[in-house]
């Protein structure tokens, strides 16, 4: 049991859970959804999410019964390319008509999301509260340095749903596997996937280092895939060009479900700290991840039998030298945030990643 468990809410037929952000963020809330399903097995569990959540859970087994796509709004989610305009007032009116018994905010500190959750009209609301956020019926203080999985399990506990697991897991379907096989073909030798992108460029290990890893693993006899989103085409191209050995770039060729199936069939996934790394772990693949130490505290996988986080301990901006940690601790001396977005993980040497990869390829399988 994690943290204090408040009383279970009686007569719950429908639960709304707000988590409308990115892939990695969603992976971390899967144990919370599992806890709610176990505590309220007869209730309908409705995820308030983004369009990609609706696609992912179209026919996927798991704790989510249904997805309601939340309109874009500040602090809730951004607008997808080509997404039509939609009214938040209309969405909230329709949500109130659903008569939710519980509404949980597992979306962040709550400055924008707590008013949204309160607007759903649920009998009981619960979630996190930063200093600038209004309260919900049941709430916990938002503290930045806490593992994301545990953070949101504590919210579930507020409504009488103790943890059943701390490990996120996502089911891979036959449809996922068929699509991945149609794109990638059958492997002729064990596969390893490299994912050199990350939305936050401060989390990106140099493309040339990923290329060095690719060379070593191809020489070891592995088929190497280099995965990326269309926005990461440039960094994937750099890895492929610098590797100088046959690797298979996969940029935008796989749906999210097929990517999950691809990773599930890999002997190893090597990635920056970004959504695909956490997806790979959730579908059972061994992983080597390159992390900034602060992010490892919040999102690093807790197990080491099949997962190796390789840490950078850098806390000063590599451009201007500003100490970037006091922003979370304003009473401490230091400089706080800076505007630069250069990588904080370039001090991680290739040899550490290769050694961890080879160790897992030898033992984790």
Mean pLDDT by 10 residues, the chain (365 residues): 74 98 96 98 98 93 96 94 92 98 97 98 98 96 96 98 97 98 96 98 98 98 98 98 98 97 98 98 98 96 97 94 83 81 97 98 84
Element containing residue 234 per DSSP (H, E):
helix 233-243
At 324 the pLDDT is: 86
The DSSP annotation for 289-335 comes to EEEEHHHHHHH--S--SSEEEEEE---B-TTT--B-STTT-TTSSS-
| Ramachandran region, residue 127 (left: φ > 0; alpha: ψ -120 to 50; beta: rest) | left
Give pLDDT, residue 58: 86
- Backbone φ and ψ for 324, nearest 5 degrees, come out as -90, 10
Residue pair 48/125 in contact by the 8 Å Cβ criterion = no
Sort residue 38 into left (φ over 0), alpha (ψ -120 to 50) or beta. alpha
pLDDT of residue 4: 58
Q: Are 301 and 224 in contact (CB under 8 A)?
A: no
Report CA-CA distances (Å) from 260 to 46, 181, 226, 230, 296. Answer: 22, 12, 14, 17, 22
Token duo for residue 210: 């990923």
Q: What pLDDT is stored for residue 35 in this prediction?
A: 98
Element (H, E) at 117: helix 113-118
């Amino acid at each position: 049991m994690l943290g204090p468990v408040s009383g279970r809410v009686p007569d719950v037929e429908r639960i709304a859970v707000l988590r409308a952000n990115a892939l990695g963020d969603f992976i971390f809330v899967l144990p919370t959804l599992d806890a709610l399903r176990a505590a309220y097995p007869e209730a309908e569990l409705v995820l308030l999410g983004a369009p990609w959540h609706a696609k992912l859970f179209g026919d996927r087994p798991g704790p989510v019964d249904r997805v309601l796509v939340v309109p874009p709004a500040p602090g809730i989610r951004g607008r997808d390319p080509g997404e039509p305009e939609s009214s938040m007032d209309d969405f909230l009116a329709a949500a109130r008509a659903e008569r939710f018994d519980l509404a949980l905010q597992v979306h962040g500190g709550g400055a924008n999301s707590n008013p949204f959750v309160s607007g759903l009209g649920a009998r009981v609301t619960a979630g996190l509260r930063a200093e600038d956020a209004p309260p919900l019926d049941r709430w916990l203080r938002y503290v930045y340095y806490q593992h994301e999985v545990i953070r949101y399990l504590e919210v579930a506990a507020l409504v009488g749903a103790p943890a059943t697991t701390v490990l996120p897991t996502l089911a891979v379907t036959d449809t996922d596997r068929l699509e991945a096989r149609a794109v990638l073909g059958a492997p002729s030798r064990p596969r390893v996937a490299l994912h050199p992108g990350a939305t936050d460029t401060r989390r990106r290990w140099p493309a040339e280092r990923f290329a060095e890893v690719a060379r070593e693993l191809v020489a070891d006899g592995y088929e190497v895939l280099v995965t990326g989103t269309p926005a990461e085409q440039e960094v994937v191209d750099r890895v492929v060009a610098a590797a100088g050995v046959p690797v298979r770039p996969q940029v935008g060729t796989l749906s999210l479900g097929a990517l999950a199936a691809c990773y599930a069939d890999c002997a190893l996934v090597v990635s920056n700290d970004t959504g695909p790394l956490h997806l790979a772990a959730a579908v059972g693949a061994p992983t080597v991840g390159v992390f900034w130490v602060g992010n490892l505290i919040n999102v690093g996988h807790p197990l080491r039998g099949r997962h190796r986080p390789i840490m950078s301990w850098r806390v000063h901006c590599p451009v201007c030298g500003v100490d970037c940690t006091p922003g979370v601790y304003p009473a401490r001396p230091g400089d706080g945030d800076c505007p630069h977005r250069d990588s904080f993980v370039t001090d991680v040497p290739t040899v550490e990643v290769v050694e961890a990869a080879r160790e897992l390829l030898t033992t984790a399988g």
